[in-house]
């Protein structure tokens, strides 16, 4: 069992530090060293990075990225309001190939998943929050057909670091990304449909997922929604259809260093 007050304070301190860094001002005596970008969103239903898994609760979704040349550090934090369920992923990614048309990225991360579990002691059952630990890696090729249309794949594998809970999860995503669909002078729409194939501890599932993002060139806010439809699955507690909607604040800043 973990102390939620400590977890909440830690998350707030991290977020405050990130915002402070993002507001670093340009100077005539500096040069760009690192790009810091990210988003903070509120959703009615927090999805995992594998969208067939859900928190089934409103959640805060925070994604950040520090990037210097081909290397980036990308925290991904998804928590329900009381921090009793969710996930914390800390991606380290490297772009082996980065051409105009084709790119290839490798990534790895430790992950910490918060789940509810019932514990019985002296005949009394109590619900606690347990932290499960995982180590995962990804392989992500992408081909850009036009400046606003790309196709790609993601292979993701996660391994449990404790003797209970999920031990081995593999998933293959095949997706396309259609960006910058012009709705008006300022409004743009982005569509990301995907099919994916999931294996977890002997259970299998095939799914369709799609994310739509509505944004305005003059605003830092965006509205997005994701749906997830099961084709076939024997994964325990699988839901045939899920959806969510999220409002997010997005930013991108240059962190400068003195020459």
When pLDDT is cut at 50, 70 and 90, the band that residue 117 belongs to is: confident
Q: Is the predicted pLDDT of residue 37 greater than 50, yes or no?
A: yes
Q: Is the predicted pLDDT of residue 16 greater than 60, yes or no?
A: no
Answer yes or no: are the C-beta atoms of 45 and 246 closer than 8 Å.
Answer: no
Q: Is the predicted pLDDT of residue 12 greater than 60, yes or no?
A: no
**What's the whole-number mean pLDDT along residues 119-148?**
90
Please give the residue that has the higher pLDDT: either 254 or 69: 69
Instruction: Look up the pTM and report it.
Output: 0.83
* R_g (Cα) of the chain, nearest Å: 20
Please give the residue that has the higher pLDDT: either 116 or 142: 142
**How far is C-alpha 237 from the chain's CA centre?**
22
Q: Is the predicted pLDDT of residue 214 greater than 80, yes or no?
A: yes
When pLDDT is cut at 50, 70 and 90, the band that residue 36 belongs to is: very high
State the pLDDT at residue 11. 46
* d(C-alpha 2, C-alpha 125), whole Å: 17
**How far is C-alpha 55 from the chain's CA centre?**
13
State the pLDDT at residue 164. 86
Please give the residue that has the higher pLDDT: either 142 or 32: 142
**Which residue segment(s) compose the domain that 192 sits in?**
4-258
Q: Is the predicted pLDDT of residue 27 greater than 70, yes or no?
A: no
Tell me the CA distances in angstroms from 164 to 35, 73, 82, 131, 133, one per residue in order.
39, 29, 24, 11, 10
Mean pLDDT of the chain: 88
DSSP label at residue 219: -
Tell me the CA distances in angstroms from 56 to 59, 61, 99, 157, 242, one per residue in order.
9, 14, 39, 23, 9
User: Each residue of 42-94: pLDDT tens digit?
Assistant: 999 999 999 999 999 999 999 999 999 999 999 999 999 998 899 999 999 99
State the pLDDT at residue 24. 42
Q: Is the predicted pLDDT of residue 134 greater than 60, yes or no?
A: yes
Answer yes or no: are the C-beta atoms of 62 and 75 closer than 8 Å.
Answer: yes
Instruction: Tell me how many domains the chain contains.
Output: 1
CATH number at residue 178: 2.40.160.40
**What's the whole-number mean pLDDT along residues 203-227?**
97
When pLDDT is cut at 50, 70 and 90, the band that residue 32 belongs to is: low
């Amino acid at each position: 069992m973990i102390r939620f007050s400590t977890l909440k304070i830690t998350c707030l301190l991290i977020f405050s530090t990130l915002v402070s860094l993002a507001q670093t001002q340009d100077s005539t005596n500096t040069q760009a060293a690192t790009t810091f970008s990210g988003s903070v969103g509120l959703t009615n239903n927090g999805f995992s990075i594998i969208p067939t898994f859900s928190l089934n609760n409103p959640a805060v979704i925070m994604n950040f990225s520090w990037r210097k040349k081909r290397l980036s550090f990308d925290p991904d934090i998804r928590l329900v309001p009381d921090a009793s369920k969710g996930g914390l992923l800390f991606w380290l990614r490297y772009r082996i190939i980065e051409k105009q048309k084709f790119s290839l990225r490798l990534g790895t991360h430790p992950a910490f998943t918060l789940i509810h579990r019932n514990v019985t002691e002296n005949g009394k059952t109590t619900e606690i929050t347990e932290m499960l630990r995982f180590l995962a890696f990804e392989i992500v090729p992408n081909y850009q057909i036009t400046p606003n249309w790309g196709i790609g794949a993601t292979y993701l594998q996660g391994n449990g670091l404790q003797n209970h809970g999920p031990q081995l999860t593999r998933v293959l995503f095949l997706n396309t990304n259609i960006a910058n669909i012009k709705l008006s002078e300022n409004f743009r729409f982005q569509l990301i449909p995907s099919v994916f194939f999931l294996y977890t501890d002997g259970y299998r599932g095939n799914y369709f997922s799609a994310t739509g993002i509505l944004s305005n060139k003059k605003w830092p806010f965006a509205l997005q929604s994701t749906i997830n439809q099961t084709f076939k699955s024997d994964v325990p507690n699988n839901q045939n259809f899920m959806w969510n909607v999220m409002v997010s604040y997005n930013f991108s800043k240059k962190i400068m260093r003195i020459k």
